[in-house]
Amino acid sequence: MTTDLCSLTARSMLELVRHRDVSRRELVQAHLARVARTNDRVRAVVELRGDEALADADAADRSHAGREGLALDGIPMVIKDHFDVAGMKHTEGVPAKAGRRSPADEVAIRRLRDAGAIIIGKCNQPDYQIRWNTVSHLYGATHNPRDLAKSAGGSTGGDAAAVAAGMAPLGLGVDYGGSIRVPASFCGIYGLRPSAGRIPAAPTLAPFDGTPTVDLMASIGPLARSVDDLWRAYAVLAGADAGDPSSLPLPPGERHGSGRKPRVVRMLDQTGAKVTPEIATRLDRTARILSDAGYEVADGGIPHARRAPEVWAELVGTELLEAGLPAFGNELGASNRQHIEAMFGLFNLGSDVRRYLAAFVERRAIARETAQWMEENPLVLAPVAGMATPPLDFDHMLDGRQTIELFDHMRNVPWVNLLSLPSVALPNGIQIVARRFREAEAIQAAATVERVIGRASVATM
């Protein structure tokens, strides 16, 4: 057939497979060929499983009749290096772990496979996932396929770049401080950070357990070129597992709820964020789309908006600097280590546990007041980053003043993590944040915007 398979959404691919207009092998072959044509320039995929993926596709094609109803049947996927995929490398982006391989699939990967997805490769990330850029000490930097001189964002920059470049219709990442939303917005695609606890993090390689902020603030989620694909992958992934005691036994929610449209608060700089005129204009246009569709839109901000991103940085930074760097700091590349020390050194509370506990108490107060406020203001529309996609080296070896300026541009990002909330990142650099466990409301609003701005295109390369 003449259709460019790599430009389709996962939903369209699924329909072709179900009607036997395209085989699963053809889908996988098309995407492997796309990787071969583009990855040398983008450097998104760091390990392929080409022969294995083709074998998976052949086996699925042979059992076509028994696969009816699989939500991701035959859909090629890329996976962030951080996840355990049986037999594949799990390096965390550092040379010290270059030879480490996962003994089995972790829960999220198993759910994707059970739904019919075919994993074709793993993607780049910064060292230990701690950066708003994707620069790996082991694999180098990932480039943005829409402009190779620009950053793909981080830390799920490899997956975002791969999806934007047409190497796969779906990727899988983790958002602990913007790591899905930032690369999605920089690469011009969609990304979903679900509520913390929605999707289990249950690795098969140690360490199996993390610090308190990981349970409260980190969230696994998909990246895609359409809102429907985000929801399709999310619905497969959501649900509790005993391997992650912080995961919750809740259904994913109803994609299409009542006809009532929730109130939307447009939040620009109430967090203290520096926002360029270009991003402010994009926010205004997105607010107008929602208003024209019948949403009530008003200006405002969450309670304690300015403190919220700082409390996130105090809690995460203190854990990183007081516990993380002593454990793995010598494995980091110079640029990655300097970034962590410069950024979180601004907020480290030190070794006095009383200050750390006080920050957690403050975090809970902000979460409580915001939850109450969001009962009247269910959706927040805000920028992701305060600037358009920056150059590839935008966060390299910044001095103190430059580090503060970077954090100020990103202040609209980490309050979402602090409060465990779900958010959909749009290709235009704007996000829609919903109440905890109300992913469907953010998805519905994102779909409303998508009907005007369109699905994300595949980058021309």
Query: Could you write out the DSSP letters of every residue in 348-397?
Result: ---S-HHHHHHHHHHHHHHHHHHHHHHTT--EEEEESSSSSSPBTTTTSS
Q: Which residues contact 120 (CB under 8 A, 6 or more apart)?
A: 28, 31, 32, 35, 48, 49, 50, 53, 76, 77, 78, 167, 168
Half-sphere exposure of 261 (CA within 13 A, CB side): 15
Compute the distance between CA of residue 431 and CA of residue 440 in angstroms, rounded to an integer. Answer: 14
Q: Cα dist. 452→228, 256, 279, 285, 287 in Å?
A: 15, 19, 18, 10, 12
CA distances from 95 to 49, 86, 101, 322 (A): 21, 20, 13, 23
Q: Would you say 142 and 124 are in contact if contact means Cβ atoms under 8 Å apart? A: yes
- What is the CB neighbour count within 10 angstroms for residue 345? 13
Closest CA to 157 of 121, 181, 176, 177: 181
CB atoms within 10 A of CB 3: 13
Residue 74 vs residues 29, 87, 455: alpha-carbon distances, Å:
11, 20, 21
Is 18 in a helix, a strand, or coil?
A: helix
- Please tell me the distance from the alpha carbon of residue 237 to that of residue 72, in angstroms, as a whole number: 11
Q: Which helix (H) or strand (E) holds 187?
A: helix 181-187
CA within 13 Å, CB half, 170:
35
Q: Give the separation between CA 191 and CA 428, rounded to whole angstroms.
A: 11
- Whether residue 86 contacts residue 56, with contact meaning beta carbons closer than 8 Å, is answered with no
88 with 131: CB under 8 angstroms? no
Q: Write down the residue that tokens 């392929």 correspond to.
A: 48
Active-site residue list: 80, 155, 179
C-alpha distances (whole Å) from 133 to each of 158, 168, 278, 336, 384 are: 10, 21, 21, 10, 14
Task: Locate 154 and state its tokens.
Answer: 């981080």
Dist CA 413 CA 411 (whole Å): 5
